[in-house]
A and B are shown apart, each in its own frame.
Chain A
Amino acid sequence: MTLDLPLIWAALIATAVLLYVLLDGFDLGVGILFPFARSPKDRDTMMESIAPVWDGNETWLVLGGGGLFAAFPLAYSVLAPALYLPLILMLLALILRGVAFEFRLHGRKHGKAFWTAAFAGGSLAATIAQGLVLGGFIQGITVRDGRFAGGPFDWLTPYSLLIAAGLVAGYALLGAGWLVWKTRDELHGDARRWTWITAGATAALLAAVSVATLIVHPRVAAQWGFIDGAFTWQVLPWVPIPILGAAGLAFIVSGLRRGSHGMPFAGAALVFLSGYLGLAVGFFPTIVPYDIDFRAAANADNALGLMLVGIAVLLPLILGYTVWVYWLFRGKVSGDAGYH
């Protein structure tokens, strides 16, 4: 039996990106919610809830980029130049918010205020940049002779801005759900309110993005069964995807109503999973929409094979100790675990 290496690697990269979106999504979301905290003390608690794990969360982004370089070099070498400016914006924003975790503790009066603003602003800007990257990706990349052949601002369209707005709402929802889970007292109450608001915004924007995608991109519409104004029911296997999203929203609402601490976050994760799969159905099997197939972009078989051996051993290990670290820091934020 020969393994379908490109398919396996496409699945692995897709999983890494999904894990990134879910994990860094909630800690970016906490940053987006930063300005709405009642007090500096609440902000300290919010940051403390993610401080031990944000670094590991962001490593999935490195695996996404590094993995694309290593497994699908053609896609990497077309997508990165095509999405040049939003990617650079994302990196700069991630730098500012990343160092803010430590710098905020060392700044004096003005320094601390600056790094508080840098954390909030950096989280928001990184999210917007990721939304623009996603929007630019979904709307398609201009490719000639296997190379990017478009302009520097191809990614900037009303559609990509809509996606960016949706991602801001979505990450804020994940962040709010996380805070419902990890905090108590007044901050917990605020987080519940934020969850209500961001869940509503996410649902509305996700619906808007879905409609816009079907209208703007006939190819995606065809994947979803809308061909020349008619609708075919061959998309039946994908019907569970929107149902999953609706279930996620129902989970959030019922969790909030029943006073559950964990359900809103789980529901938010389901909503993300649904949105992620829904978009994937639209562009799969291209990896550079809509010109380059993932098989055409794949690296040499011997490189993919070597890496598969490595990841087969290492990924379970990584997932194992990642889960262990989350387990270690389980429960409500206690506020006394730091080294400062």
Chain B
Amino acid sequence: MDFDAILLARLQFAFTIAFHIIFPSFTIGLASFLAVLEGLWLSTGRDVFRNLYMFWVKIFALSFGMGVVSGVVMSYELGTNWAEFSRAASPVIGPLLAFEVLTAFFLEASFLGVMLFGWRKVGPRLHFLATLLVAIGTLVSAFWIISANSWMQHPVGYAVLADGSLRATDWLTVIFSPTFPSRFIHMTLAAFLTTALAVGAASAWSLLRDRTQPESGMALRMAIGMFAIVAPLQLVAGHLSGEMVRLHQPLKLAAVEAYWETRADQPQSLVGIPDRKAGKTHLEIEIPHVGNLIQGVPGTTVLQGLDAFPRADWPVVGLVYWSFRIMVGLGLAMIGLGVWGVWLVIRRRLERSTWFLRAAVAMGPAGFVAVIAGWVVAEVGRQPWTIYGVLRTADSASPVGAGQVSVSLLGFMIIYAIVFSAGAVYILRIVNRGPSLDVEPAPSAGGRAPGTPLAAAPPEPEA
């Protein structure tokens, strides 16, 4: 495959996976949130939880649908655009992806049907079980895909045969490769944070218009509780993940921190414009001496800089450097929002603080942006390899021409633009209506399944 075709194929993969990852990172958290809401409704019987469930399940259904269809794409795109990668990697990570389908996708897809359409068909407990199984499915799916990706970041537990093909030698080592645990935790927490911020933003939006809205007040408190705890934890998980990068992918660390030279006592670069050609950072603000400290190693430890590696192996330093700073910056803002929110809750002034509610709305998309930035750090930082140190991206592509890849890229851009904008409009409309309109008059005494349908589908107004 020629250079243009590889670049286009990379663009296409980046585009389709960045689009896809938005939805799982939202629905992983949302599925667990729904399970908690339904559990609380079943155990306390309070309508506020039922109303919140009915409100968020609509948004869940919309997001999950977009996640499913954009995920189907990934399972074929590996072959259409990355045939050589598929052939090389399959003996090791093939089973991991197969297990993802078998343990997670079927579970999610089957019980989603029960969760959305089974209200009148199953009892409340069985319905709760369906919600729970969907939530578990989303986490299991993350487990396998992060496992496969971690192996690509730091391949272990395999051998290279005489004909150059790979063989797994120890499956447990492959599945639980050294970078996997911290990366799995980092991704899962990221998903929970993303959801908590989105739930917080929607609730704050509703409270800005009606400060007494009970569902929104409850959901905002739950969201604050979530991100106030998870955002600081994420800092720790991110640090552990970074430690794995230092140990196993020193080149990536050098790019993330723009270490140009190998030395002890690295400075910490805060902001600047890394220049890959000149091998230096322009307009840099740096703190001398603390680089090693932030990496958690003594100042005397030598940390490798980019100069320790052939220039042909350097990733795009500026992109990795800035994506990392966006991610960390947003993470720190999330911690700040959490502290602020907890303080207001303790002082019982949450609903009255217009500025906090505005800030919570503004931070709604922060999780999505941070997730995508984090993936750019992980994936662009691994370049020019698809399997780090084993298979180069340039040797991974399919034998197809630039023409086909451009046409398909264009197709994806058009269809995703339509689907994404329509989906965003529908979700924002639901958010804008708020949970209050869904509240029915209290049901008459007697057995009523949680959230039996509120209205039939609207009639179709067309010729």
A-side interface residues toward B, CB under 8 Å?
Answer: 40-41, 43-44, 48, 51-53, 55-56, 58-59, 61-63, 65-71, 73-74, 76-81, 84-85, 87-89, 91-92, 94-96, 98-99, 101-103, 105-107, 109, 111-113, 115-116, 147-149, 152, 299-300, 302-303, 306-307, 310-311, 314-315, 318, 321-322, 325, 328-329, 334-340
Contact = CB atoms under 8 A, between A and B. Distances in A.
Given A112-B462, A310-B99, A88 B408 contact: yes
A106 B83 CA distance: 39
B76 A65 contact: yes
Contacts of A56: 106, 109-110, 113
B98 A77 contact: no
B61 interface: yes
Contacts of A147: 83, 399
A71 B407 contact: no
A73 B102 contact: no
16 contacts: A40-B462, A59-B106, A62-B105, A68-B79, A77-B83, A77-B84, A81-B400, A84-B80, A89-B411, A92-B412, A99-B419, A103-B65, A106-B62, A325-B110, A329-B121, A340-B455
A63 B171 CA distance: 21
A303 to B, nearest CB: 5
B453 A62 contact: no
A280 B411 CA distance: 32
B69 interface: yes
A34 to B, nearest CB: 11
Interface stretch (B279-287, B362-370, B421-429): B421-429
B94 A73 contact: yes
B415 A338 contact: no
Contacts of B103: 310, 314
B349 interface: no
A84 B400 contact: yes
B456 to A, nearest CB: 7
Interface stretch (B85-93, B184-192, B372-380): B85-93
Contact of B87 (A62, A77, A85, A92): A77
A290 B397 CA distance: 24
A77 B418 CA distance: 30
Contact of A339 (B61, B165, B399, B408): B61
A89 to B, nearest CB: 8
Contacts, number: 277
Interface of B: 54, 57-58, 61-62, 65-66, 68-73, 75-80, 83-84, 86-87, 90-92, 94-95, 97-103, 105-107, 109-114, 116-122, 165, 167-168, 171, 398-401, 403-404, 407-408, 411-412, 415-416, 418-419, 422-423, 426, 429-430, 451, 453-462
Contact of B91 (A51, A66, A73): A73
B97 A55 contact: no
Contact of A88 (B94, B95, B411): B411
B122 A79 contact: no
Interface SS majority for chain B: helix
Contacts of A99: 65-66, 69, 419, 422-423
Nearest to A47: B457
B98 A70 contact: yes
B97 A69 contact: yes
A76 to B, nearest CB: 5
B462 A336 contact: no
A335 B456 CA distance: 8
Contact of A77 (B116, B121, B398): B398
A81 B83 contact: yes
Nearest to B12: A88
B128 to A, nearest CB: 14
B102 A310 contact: yes
Contacts of B84: 77
A105 B457 contact: yes
B459 A85 contact: no
A339 B94 contact: no
Contact of B116 (A76, A84, A338): A338
A102 B62 contact: yes
Given A152-B400, A338-B117, 18 more contacts: A51-B113, A59-B105, A62-B75, A74-B87, A88-B412, A92-B411, A96-B418, A96-B419, A99-B423, A105-B457, A105-B458, A106-B430, A112-B461, A113-B462, A303-B90, A303-B92, A311-B98, A321-B107
Given A299-B94, A310-B98, A322 B117 contact: no
